[in-house]
Amino acid sequence: MGRNIPRHWEVRFTRDGPYEVQFRFNPFAVAGVAPPSVRRPHLSQPIEAGAATCVFAQLPAQTGPGRIETWMKIGPDRVTPRFVDVR
């Protein structure tokens, strides 16, 4: 997990969305917010203190190559997740 480093994942969507996207990370001691982006305006979701995942159940995407970009705002830091799962 990087601090203040932009992170993205190159993906190939096999159908038009929506997709469920789960970000996995080490648990944080404080709450924060996650704003993912997939060729769309930014969305955001709160992250509870102690959580190790953040799930976006209806992330829109179009068939073809794409890039999932995200970071989490935890206190004053921008932190990137370790893994992303797309379903």
Model confidence at 41: pLDDT above 60: no
77 domain residue, yes or no: yes
Q: Is 60 inside any structural domain?
A: yes
Domain ranges, residue 48: 7-86
Give domain status of residue 1, yes or no.
no
Q: Would you state the structure tokens that stand for residue 19, as one six-digit string?
A: 């997709």
d(CA 66, CA 68): 7
Residue 31 has pLDDT above 60, yes or no: yes
Structural domain includes residue 2: no
Of the pLDDT bands very low, low, confident and very high (cuts 50, 70, 90), residue 15 is very high
pTM (2 d.p.): 0.76
Contact between residue 54 and residue 34 where contact means Cβ atoms under 8 Å apart: yes
Q: Over 60: is that where the pLDDT of 19 sits?
A: yes
Domain CATH for 77: 2.60.120.260
Q: Kindly report, residue by residue over 61-84, the tens digit of the pLDDT.
A: 899 998 888 878 888 888 888 888
Instruction: Please tell me the total count of domains within the chain.
Output: 1
